[in-house]
Structure 1
Amino acid sequence: MSDTTLVLLGAGSSSRFGANVKKQWIYTDENPLWLYVAEHFESSAIFKKIIIVSSSEEIAAMKNFASYIYVEGGNSRQASLSNALEHVSSKYVLVSDIARCCIPSEMITRILGAKQEAACIVPVLAVSDTLYHNNQPINREEVKIIQTPQLSRTELLKEALQTETLFTDDSSAIASLGEKVHFVEGSVKAHKLTTREDLQKVTCLKSPSTKTLTGFGIDIHPFEKGKPMYLCGVAIDVDYGFKAHSDGDVAIHALIDALLGAAGMGDIGEIYPDTEETYAGADSKMLLSDTVKRIKSFGFEIGNIDITIMAQAPKLLPYKEEMKKTLASLLGIRQNFVNIKATTAEKLGFVGRKEGVTVHAVANLTYLNWKNI
């Protein structure tokens, strides 16, 4: 049985990455970055547990990929690590950042192999450039570039983090206790992905898969007198609308389900539940905009959509062009990638009796090609 737990930190907002996608969700082939990193560690060493630290929203999506232990992060790296350590009972803990995604296996082996040397084992790089501090040159032989992963004795790291002082890494926290820190050789390949420019330096990553992911959505709503009607975000000139918790835009609801289905992210009821007062009378266009933002942050691009509206009434032909324009704008795609079909139910069933409308939607997604951002 291994005496080491792996903790991978990825609860940051990726604000310095400067793109719509969160860096932990760029894809290498068909794997999001966080999963690629976790599986690489798993293939390089044996761990008692593997803990992934992220936001609650991301954890819900991560659970679809693999059965690791998932822990919600805090408002700082230190708070996130402290949350993870509550789940660590092994003698040692190896902590790394998901953003440091190209760590060679031999570097992991060097760190784990030195666990008896000190309370914290740290990979480092020598500095080759001339350095100045306060306008004075300093001896670069006395300076080191600190990397992760870092291996610590679990109880000491827990103790070290019980302070208001914020440490930038584990070795600083361990050193604050007066404990010994041991350095091992790091690797220039273990570059941390912080900004988009760093994508050129993480050479282990493959291009994302070109696979198309397809989702299907369906929604049904009965009519309600005296309520405004919206379909595909467009106001329809009739004296009745849809009975619903939100504004009842049945077409947008079906489309949201199709988008979430293609992304493997559940359904509209999970993300915008009709039991929450927040969404009472909600503008469905806002829900769609939020869904699009969410999908893009998780590494997807929208390809095309196809919607079929089955309605005996009202007549929708006069509104179709405006519907296409509205949806294209909300989705961030060209109009020609939005197709809307309207048909009747030949007077059959509840639709044929003019009691309501049903909508079917299909959406296609692809993985964001991060090499172009």
Structure 2
Amino acid sequence: MSQLTLILLAAGTSSRFELDVKKQWLRIDHKPLWQFVADRLQKTNFFSQIIITSPKDDCAFMQNYSDYTIVSGGSTRQESLNNALAQVSSEFVLVSDIARSCISKDFLSRIISAQSNADCIVPYLKVTDTVVYDNETIDRDKVKRIQTPQLSRTKTLQDALQTTQEFTDESSAIVANGGSREFILGEDDAHKITYTKDLNNLSCLEKPSSDTLSGTGFDVHAFEDGGVMWLGGVKIESELSFKAHSDGDVAIHALIDALLGAAGMGDIGMIFPDSDNAYKGIDSKELLQTVVTKLNNFGFIIVNIDLTIAAQKPRVGQYKLAMRKTLANILHIDASRVNIKATTTEKLGFIGRAEGVGVIANANLKYYDWTKN
């Protein structure tokens, strides 16, 4: 079994899944689905290496979760598979989809035991309904519902995929290139998650943890004369503005760090580096919207936020309500879950000398509960 690599495909966009969260980031207890599946299959001890394909923008975050080999996927399943195959050195490779999440050890064993019988071992399910093709009823015994995982000779699969023709599974590519395949009876319980309702068919999945995840952010910006001051997403009447690469909204910057901290996603500088001219002068509300979208894609729900603005000037009391409503709209939560506090530093330090503003932010997240759909 030592010469078998597992490739798990998780680079899709979940376009048919009908939710903001990508299906590979649905939480099983604390684990995202892709990690749950990889860990589950690793315990079989069948594989010398596990490779997981991922959307390019997700790779860095995925590497925080495990020591599996993470490979940037492509725009198609086949491109993603080619990227992963470039990392394979074993004689055989088993390819599966993260969406097929509850594969049994017995099912895998039957596939692997047939590895020497053909260039590709393909599980299938029988068709029990009447089948009509092009207005003609055909023999349903000749129709097969193809499943994954599929086991292939690595070199044979690599050669078969050196084409611009797109195939929906490995065996079709291999046969088109002159290779052989053998069908084995698949597993009825090896359901695949394509639509939200498919989650009801997967008994091996636990509900997400109900833990609350908390994060803290802190940021300061110095004043400069002129310009426009933005704070908490609201335009402040002032003769001053903030020195910054973006629009300098110190409250939103602290909030972004709090949200990223709760999610374990690093900090604002990792996502929006001030060395990138794309963010020069950018509206910080746009940065916050990008972060909220990422959080939702990765399976997080924002519970509430709390901001403390430390400023000798400007006086922000009259802007608090507008800030709450503006931020709540971006965060997709009720304004009652956005708290804004303002304080001075009793004329102590750079804030007390009216040289700038500091903000402390706290944010709480939960996992999206897919069991309630």
* Deviation at residue 166 of structure 1 after TM alignment: 1.1
Matched, 1:121 2:121: yes
Residue type of the alignment partner of 1:10: A
Partner of 1:239: 239
> Could you tell me how far apart the structure 2 residues matched to 1:355 and 1:29 are?
47
Partner of 2:168: 168
Matched, 1:288 2:288: yes
Partner of 1:86: 86
| Structure 1, unpaired ranges of 5+ | none
> Could you tell me how far apart the structure 1 residues matched to 2:323 and 2:76 are?
44
* Deviation at residue 229 of structure 1 after TM alignment: 0.6
> Could you tell me how far apart the structure 1 residues matched to 2:123 and 2:106 are?
12
* Deviation at residue 192 of structure 1 after TM alignment: 1.1
The CA deviation string for residues 249-268 of structure 1, in whole angstroms up to 9 with x for no partner, is 00000000000010111110
* Deviation at residue 202 of structure 1 after TM alignment: 2.1
> Could you tell me how far apart the structure 1 residues matched to 2:363 and 2:271 are?
18
| SS of match in other structure, 1:362 | strand
RMSD (CA atoms):
1.0
Residue type of the alignment partner of 1:137: T
Matched, 1:13 2:13: yes
Aligned residues: 373
> Could you tell me how far apart the structure 2 residues matched to 1:327 and 1:78 are?
41
Partner of 2:99: 99
Residue type of the alignment partner of 2:28: T
The CA deviation string for residues 98-140 of structure 1, in whole angstroms up to 9 with x for no partner, is 1111111211111111111111111111111111111111111
State whether residues 44 and 109 of structure 1, in contact with CA within 8 Å, keep that contact through their aligned partners in structure 2.
no
* Deviation at residue 46 of structure 1 after TM alignment: 2.7
Partner of 1:254: 254
Q: Which moved more, 1:66-75 or 1:245-254?
A: 66-75
State whether residues 45 and 109 of structure 1, in contact with CA within 8 Å, keep that contact through their aligned partners in structure 2.
no
Partner of 1:345: 345
| SS of match in other structure, 1:74 | coil
* Deviation at residue 37 of structure 1 after TM alignment: 0.7
State whether residues 212 and 366 of structure 1, in contact with CA within 8 Å, keep that contact through their aligned partners in structure 2.
yes
Residue type of the alignment partner of 2:49: K
Taking structure 1 as the reference length, the TM-score comes to 0.98
Q: Which moved more, 1:178-187 or 1:354-363?
A: 178-187
Partner of 2:316: 316
* Deviation at residue 179 of structure 1 after TM alignment: 2.1
* Deviation at residue 171 of structure 1 after TM alignment: 0.6
Same amino acid, percent of matched pairs = 55
Taking structure 2 as the reference length, the TM-score comes to 0.98
| SS of match in other structure, 2:19 | coil
Partner of 1:191: 191
* Deviation at residue 142 of structure 1 after TM alignment: 1.1
State whether residues 233 and 249 of structure 1, in contact with CA within 8 Å, keep that contact through their aligned partners in structure 2.
yes
Partner of 1:208: 208
Residue type of the alignment partner of 2:6: L
> Could you tell me how far apart the structure 1 residues matched to 2:273 and 2:185 are?
51
> Could you tell me how far apart the structure 1 residues matched to 2:46 and 2:180 are?
25
> Could you tell me how far apart the structure 2 residues matched to 1:348 and 1:86 are?
59
> Could you tell me how far apart the structure 2 residues matched to 1:239 and 1:108 are?
69
Partner of 1:267: 267
| SS of match in other structure, 1:266 | coil
Residue type of the alignment partner of 2:340: I
